[in-house]
Structure 1
Amino acid sequence: MFNILTRAFANLTGLNLNTIPHQNSPQSGNFYPSEDDVAVVRQDLLCFLPLELVDEILDYAEYWPRIFDCRRALIDIPGGRSCCYLVTQPVPGDSEPGENTGPVRHRSIREVKFQICSRDQGWGGENEHRGTYDGSWTWFETVILPPPAQFGHPSWYRDLLDGWPRLPPNVLQMLFGQDGQDRRWHIQSNVTASRKLREHTVTWTIDEENYGDQRYDQFKGRINCGHEVVRSLEAGDRLIIVARALFPGWVNHVDSASVEIFYFMR
């Protein structure tokens, strides 16, 4: 989308595309602009267009920086257990005047994308549910982890960042139920009774109308409510991918997972 807009604009203005960072070809992989890339393109467009229109163009073209975290580690989560599989970097906030001797930069979260490769134990469940997502009791959810100062800099916070997957039950309950509300968001369930590893990509945006039947499940948390996460993330927050299995005999086999958090910068 960004390439189409910039080329059309270049035809009208004579803008030199060689000076603008652009999307790589499929052979060279995906291109994700850095904050400096966005600043360069923004400054070039400001030579021809007003500020408000430039920001709208960049936002509409989804020319967004991102933070990216991934983990590849084979972990089995048996029934009745939870595992904090991946913790992201903190969400960036607005820069302060003079920070890094650069201009003030305002950042707004636009999209969160999860990629998870996993399977269940490969047997069990109701016959009619096998090979579908119905009746699946192994799944993934996310919770928002506020900055450590909000909890008084506890030792478990450092353990979590160091990769310790098991947290005390009281800590998990605190994270799952912040502000008196259930703060668990269902990401993806495994296919029921399948031994085949599958990779699922789940994308959450800020727009509520992009989601289907929104509901709360006492076991799996808030379903089809990903827009709440995108809207709720604040500077310093992190996301945790929690892998879960509910009943005895069920096992969540996790191969890998990643999180991308895209944000608009102006």
Structure 2
Amino acid sequence: MFGRILRHPLRWLNESAPELSSEPNGDHKHESAVAGDDTTDGTNDSQETPIVPDYQPTVLDAIVVKEMLNKAFNLPPELVDAIVDLGEYWPHTSTEIVYTGRSRAERKDARGGHPVEENKFLLRTPPLGFVRPPYLSPQDTERQAPPHPLHDEYEPSDFQDLIASPVATRIHPCRKIVFTILSHDQGWGNPGGEGLYTDSWTWFEVGLERCNKTETSDGKGTFSPVFDLASLATLNPPVTTDGEESLFDFPLLPREDCKIQSNRTVNHEAKEHCVVWSHTDDVRLPTPDTAENEDGEATESGGIVKNSSSSGSGSNGESSTDGDAGAEAFETAEVQALADVGRGIVTGDGEFVRNLKLGDIVTVWAKARFPGWVNYVDRVKVNVYWAI
């Protein structure tokens, strides 16, 4: 019964409620939670058991389900929030840019060895948690903003009219980001590394924008936040100011805490990568100064707290030294697994997702370094999920 409520909560109401949408006006592929957004394998040998795509709740669905849980079971708000989070019953926005079929001038391929061409802005998502205007114009979805630093940011309460919720939302509502990227490199290079991610000099990085506090009045004493390219501040990539001029700071090497995905090397064929960043991710780099007390907990020197359940034990139940080493190796193996599939080795800790604030904008950049390396971008899609 509860599963049916989660899938179709509005059917349990005797009135038709309007659907709240996160879709800005315009022709860009910039949409809110829609059932069937995620694809399936399409195999269906029986007419009696059709494959139904995962249901994608809207903002209104999430609000209704939480209210139903509260009214039907008299659950405390903290438990209701936990149930919804465990069920991943979150609304989301979806932003997609397709470059296939465009002319070279219209494409956003990054080319190494050219200062202007090796860092290409691809797209930006709608402000996190918003389901009502203000929105950036659809044309601004793929237009690079000027390099403005952050001066003064809004308070969460300033966005109350934009979140379509009767209660104040969380300061950090983001729960998951799914990046889907179809791309490839130039298809030639030194022999020996074909199809691998090591020594790849074409990749993608995540960026972050936040709106500088600017307000407009309707003439009746009501002020509204302003969201446009001129008011956006860029937190990542960093913005440096030299006198009166502000510039993006693009390092030569990939930033491992921002790298979404590298291309396979020496490959002419585009490959699709689906990269999921979750607020529950907890893969952290081992640190040389890790120290532990007798209970296996990290001390003030920092480092990783090893999972005692991963430690080995002898037949008499006593912990063995090999078990402790195995726990450390397991942490290292998790980090290595990220590198093996072309991800940034510091992107598995969930910090980026957990630190996103209400109204934040996620961006994607294509990168290439050194002459001859080209990052050919065919399609980029970003789904951002948040909790109500």
**TM-score, L = length of structure 2:** 0.52
C-alpha separation between the residues in 2 aligned to 1:53 and 1:204? Answer: 24
Of 191-200 and 234-243, the range deviating more from structure 2: 234-243
Letter in 2 for 1:19: W
Letter in 2 for 1:90: P
Contact residue 124 and residue 361 of structure 2 kept, 8 A: yes
SS of equivalent residue, structure 2 residue 192: helix
SS of equivalent residue, structure 1 residue 192: coil
C-alpha separation between the residues in 2 aligned to 1:197 and 1:139? Answer: 13
C-alpha separation between the residues in 1 aligned to 2:126 and 2:362? Answer: 8
**Which residue number corresponds to residue 64 of structure 1?**
90
Structure 2, gaps ≥5 residues long: 14-18, 20-33, 41-50, 100-106, 131-155, 215-227, 234-238, 285-333
- Structure 2 vs 1, CA of residues 201 and 78 (structure 1 numbering), >3 Å: closer, same or farther? same
**TM-score, L = length of structure 1:** 0.73
C-alpha separation between the residues in 2 aligned to 1:157 and 1:209? Answer: 34
C-alpha separation between the residues in 1 aligned to 2:269 and 2:199? Answer: 17
C-alpha separation between the residues in 2 aligned to 1:87 and 1:97? Answer: 19
Letter in 1 for 2:199: G
Contact residue 109 and residue 120 of structure 2 kept, 8 A: no
C-alpha separation between the residues in 2 aligned to 1:98 and 1:65? Answer: 17
**Which residue number corresponds to residue 224 of structure 1?**
346
Letter in 2 for 1:234: K
From 92, 95, 109, the counterpart of 2:129: 92
Letter in 1 for 2:366: A
Of 26-35 and 225-234, the range deviating more from structure 2: 26-35
C-alpha separation between the residues in 2 aligned to 1:142 and 1:40? Answer: 33
**Which residue number corresponds to residue 133 of structure 1?**
197
Matched, 1:209 2:282: yes
Matches within 5 A, 1:1-266: 6-7=3-4, 18-19=11-12, 29-49=53-73, 50-51=75-76, 52-73=78-99, 74-80=107-113, 81-92=118-129, 99=161, 103-107=166-170, 108-125=173-190, 127-149=191-213, 157-158=229-230, 171-173=247-249, 185-210=258-283, 212-213=334-335, 223-226=345-348, 227-265=350-388
How far is 1:170 from its partner?
5.2
Percent of aligned positions that are identical: 32
- Structure 2 vs 1, CA of residues 160 and 249 (structure 1 numbering), >3 Å: closer, same or farther? farther
C-alpha separation between the residues in 2 aligned to 1:191 and 1:98? Answer: 44
Letter in 2 for 1:229: F
SS of equivalent residue, structure 1 residue 129: coil
C-alpha separation between the residues in 2 aligned to 1:111 and 1:198? Answer: 23
Letter in 1 for 2:123: L
How far is 1:129 from its partner?
1.2
Contact residue 95 and residue 104 of structure 1 kept, 8 A: no
- Structure 2 vs 1, CA of residues 136 and 159 (structure 1 numbering), >3 Å: closer, same or farther? farther
Higher strand share: 1
How far is 1:147 from its partner?
1.4
Of 200-209 and 240-249, the range deviating more from structure 2: 200-209
C-alpha separation between the residues in 2 aligned to 1:131 and 1:142? Answer: 23
Task: Give the number of the structure whose alpha-carbon radius of gyration is greater.
Answer: 2
Letter in 2 for 1:137: W
Contact residue 143 and residue 183 of structure 1 kept, 8 A: no
Count residues with an aligned counterpart.
234
Letter in 1 for 2:207: V
- Structure 2 vs 1, CA of residues 119 and 57 (structure 1 numbering), >3 Å: closer, same or farther? same
Letter in 1 for 2:126: Q
Letter in 1 for 2:56: Y
Deviations along 1:143-179, one digit per CA (max 9) or x if unpaired, are 21121449xxxxx944999xxxxx9995321xx69xx
Contact residue 262 and residue 343 of structure 2 kept, 8 A: no
Higher helix share: 1
Contact residue 126 and residue 361 of structure 2 kept, 8 A: yes
Contact residue 175 and residue 385 of structure 2 kept, 8 A: yes
C-alpha separation between the residues in 1 aligned to 2:269 and 2:359? Answer: 37
Deviations along 1:219-253, one digit per CA (max 9) or x if unpaired, are x9963325121022112221111101101001000
SS of equivalent residue, structure 1 residue 115: strand
SS of equivalent residue, structure 1 residue 239: strand
C-alpha separation between the residues in 2 aligned to 1:137 and 1:235? Answer: 33
Contact residue 256 and residue 347 of structure 2 kept, 8 A: no
SS of equivalent residue, structure 1 residue 75: coil
- Structure 2 vs 1, CA of residues 120 and 146 (structure 1 numbering), >3 Å: closer, same or farther? same
Structure 1, gaps ≥5 residues long: 10-15, 151-155, 162-166
Letter in 2 for 1:42: K
Q: Considering only aligned residues, what root-mean-square deviation do their CA atoms show, in Å?
A: 3.9
